[in-house]
Structure 1
Amino acid sequence: MRLTPGPARAVDLGGVDLFDLDLYGSGDPHPVWDAMRAKAPLHHQVLPDGREFWSVTRHEDVCRVLGDHREFTSERGTVPTHLGQDDVAAGVLMTSTDPPRHTEVRRPLGSKLTARAVKSWEDSIRGTIRRFLEPALDGEPFDLAERALLLPAMVTGPLLGIPEKDWAELVQLTAMVTAPSDPHFRLGSEAATLAISHHELVTYVKEWVNHRRATGDEDDSLLHHLMSVRPGGAPLTDEEIALDGYSILLGANVTTPHTVSGTVQALIERPEQFAKAQADPGLIPNLVEEGLRWTSAACNFMRYAVDDVQIGGGTIPARGAVVAWIGSANRDESLFPDPHTFDITRANAKRQVAFGFGPHFCIGAPLARLTLRVFFEELLQTFGSIELAGEPEHLRSYFIAGMTHLPIAAQKRLTP
């Protein structure tokens, strides 16, 4: 998906297909979202197979859909790939569960991932990122997007309790879940890719738990901590642990790589922004927020209306599926002036909703922010310039906005 929109063009909203993978893999959805925010803030689409959904694109409406579980439930599925078939793990899988149970499972895990808690990981993360960037030091082409897929596993693997030998396999499986139509990850049909990846990830967590129980090994890892969570006073079943572990693996791996590559591309295309950040490292936290807004790697989330709901000048009927488009909300001109300009000094960049909003706000946001801050500190300190070394290739997915390839060539920064 192009992050810098092309020239303005007329959009026929009656003919828009928001599930057209070409719109994201090789196209440009931003003019479509711009037109929807202006003319159809509540948009209805019926797919050729009869499935239907409503879309909200304004920041205010996206926050309402994601923030009010009494109006919009997560317990039938939260991603568009489930449209038309209720999630079999609804009410069990943490991401497909409403409060109070969602809160009871989430709270003890969240205590391990507060900004204060993850601060102790900074030195370790910095070392990891220096090792990650080391192959680019010789100035040869370096495929940032391809290599960045492994970066979250390098950072979070120890925190989760996942051994290094398993990182690459788990990264591949999580990419299959979130982009099952992309040729880099597809195995057979989209349905087969989803089924295989889901089964393998859940099985991995089950076997991890069984091994820990058999050996009696204990550690401070997040997956081990999940084994002690007791929502409602009762421990999670092995099936619940496996499903929530699957959810944690997905959250840990799928968005940060695309925020990294998309933000670096924005800096390459705007050398004045690169120079500004390099001259003033104090801007880097805001660079991270603008990068999150700009890339909106989790492009959307889905909910279902509990009853008839009036929103965006129209009505979503009870049990209707509604897709909240994060990528559009983060370019809403009513909140972000000149939204298609990448500006690391943007005053309100932190109001972006790239991590979601409400009860399901990303539990790993503090760790992601820390990782991104350290990444750009190291990048800007190490390299004096970065340029493209080939054509970017965009992910073929309407759920995750990102790239599969971003070849770059970087020159080491000269120190006085």
Structure 2
Amino acid sequence: MRLTPGPARDVDLECLDLFDLDLYSYGDPHPVWDVMRDKAPLHHQVLPDGREFWSVTRYEDVCRVLGDHREFTSERGTTPTHVGIDDPAAGVLLTSTDPPRHTEVRRPIGTKLTARAVKSWEDSIRRTIQRFLEPALEGETFDLAEKALLLPAMVTGPLLGIPEKDWEELVQLTAMVTAPSDPHFKTGSEAATLAIAHHELVTYVKEWVRTRRASGAEDDSLLHHLMSVRPGGAPLSDEEIALDGYSILLGANVTTPHTVSGTVQALIERPEQFEKAQADPSLVPNLVEEGLRWTSAACNFMRYAVDDVQIGGGTIPARGAVVAWIGSANRDASQFPDPHEFDITRAGAKRHVAFGFGPHFCIGGPLARMTLRIFFEELLQRFGSIELDGEPQHLRSYFIAGMTHLPIVAQKRKTP
């Protein structure tokens, strides 16, 4: 989707289709969300097959939906690709489980991913990012969006315990899950693409666990750590480990590439911001937060109302699906003045909800923040300039906001 919106326009809220893939691959949803926040903070849509959902677009409402599992449950599914169809893995899959079980599984995994815990990976991540950026400095066209799809696997593969030979395949499979209608990842119908990717990913983790159990080998990887998690005092079954491993793989691979490419595009379009960041490296952490807010790569999450809920000036009925639009919340002027301006000095940029909110706040947030900080430290130190060398191509997805192509040409920064 376009991250820098065009001019305000009239929007027919009665005919609005928020699942229109063209709106995200070729269109401009931000002016639509602007109107929704102003005139329809609770919006109801019925799909052609009769399924229906409600949408919230204001920052406070999005935080309420994502933050209160007593009002809005995750245990029927959390992604809009499953709207109206209960997720068979709900109650087991970490992302589709409410507290207290969610907390019991999440807490021991989270100890491996705190800011302090991931700090030991900084030097290794820096070397990985240096290797990643090196080809871009050869003066030829470098497709940042396409190359960046592999970057999270390069960073997190060793942490997860996944061998390098499997990274490319797993990246492709996770992209199929999150963008099953994009021609780069689609295999047959959308439903077939989802089914194939889900089966292959779960099977991969099951085989990984089976092999580890058979060999008796132990390591400090995150997937191996899952084998020792005991929610409620009982160990996870192999099926539960496979589903939670699947969830971790998705989280690791899906959003960071699009935050990278979208933030770089913003810097290319605003050379004064690029120069400001180069002149003052202390701005890099805030550049990362503004990039996360600006790109909002995980565009939305879904919940189901437990009972009738009053929100956004209306009512969501019990068992009604509600989509919380993160991409809209992060452009809410009540929280972010001049929200459609990309400003690396923005005060309060860290209030964004790009990592979600509440119990399901992204467990890998500290690792993602560190990776992005290192990426932009290295980019600003090495690149003297960056220019577009072709048209960006946007991901065909209403769930993940990102790009499949961002061709750039970079020049080396001259050493003083």
| TM-score (structure 1 length as normaliser) | 1.00
Shift of 1:12: 1.0
Aligned 1:309-328 pairs, distance under 5 A = 309-328=309-328
- Is 1:126 the counterpart of 2:126? The answer is yes
1:22-72 CA-partner distances (Å, limit 9, x unpaired): 000000000110000000000000011100000000000000000000000
Give 3-state SS (helix, strand or coil) of 1:14's partner.
coil
Q: Which amino acid aligns with 1:109?
A: I
What's the offset of the Cα at 1:15?
Answer: 1.1
| Structure 1 residue aligned with 2:202 | 202
Rounded to whole Å, the distance in 1 between the matches of 2:346 and 2:127 is 30
1:299-341 superposed Cα distances (whole Å, 9 cap, x missing partner): 0000000000000000000000000000000000111000000
Q: Could you tell me which residue of structure 2 aligns to residue 224 of structure 1? A: 224
CA–CA separation in structure 2 for the residues paired with 1:48 and 1:31: 24
Q: 1:153 — aligned with what?
A: 153
Q: Hey, what does 1:3 align to over in structure 2?
A: 3
Name the count of aligned residue pairs: 416
Q: CA deviation at 1:137?
A: 1.1
Q: What stretches of structure 2 of length at least 5 have no aligned partner? A: none
**AA matched with 1:192:** A
- 1:256 aligns to what? 256
The alignment yields a C-alpha RMSD, in angstroms, of 0.4
User: Tell me, what secondary structure is at the counterpart of 2:14?
Assistant: helix
Q: Indicate the SS of the match to 1:253.
A: helix
Q: CA deviation at 1:295?
A: 0.1
Tell me the amino acid that sits aligned with residue 10 of structure 1: D
Letter in 2 for 1:299: C
Alignment pair present for 1:95 and 2:82? no
| CA displacement at 1:84 relative to structure 2 | 1.6
Distance 2:271 2:149 in 1: 25
Distance (whole Å) between structure 1 residues aligned to residue 18 and residue 256 of structure 2: 24
Deviation per residue, 1:165-184 (Å, 9 max, x gap): 00000000000000000000
SS at structure 2 position matched to 1:409: strand
Residue 247 of structure 1 aligns to which amino acid in structure 2?
S
Paired letter, 1:187: T
Percent pairwise identity: 89
Residue 388 (1) aligns with residue 388 (2) = yes
Q: Secondary structure at the match of 1:55?
A: strand
SS in 1 for 2:172: helix
Letter in 1 for 2:369: R
Gapped runs of 5+ residues in structure 1? none
Per-residue deviation, 1:200 = 0.1
Shift of 1:132: 0.2
Partner Cα distance (1:292, 1:53) in 2? 26
- 3-state SS, counterpart of residue 123 of structure 1: helix
Letter in structure 2 aligned against 1:113: L
1:258 maps to a residue whose letter is H
The SS at the match of 1:125 is helix
Deviations 1:109-165 (A, max 9, x none): 000000000001000000000000010111110000000000000000000000000
Q: 1:191-340, aligned counterparts within 5 Å?
A: 191-340=191-340
- Aligned residue for 1:9, secondary structure, equals coil
Deviation at 1:378, TM superposition (A): 0.1
Give me the whole-angstrom Cα distance separating, in 2, the residues matched to 1:283 and 1:370. Answer: 14
How far is 1:9 from its partner? 1.0
Q: Equivalents in 2 of 1:226, 1:243: separation in Å?
A: 11
| Residue 246 of structure 1, CA deviation | 0.2
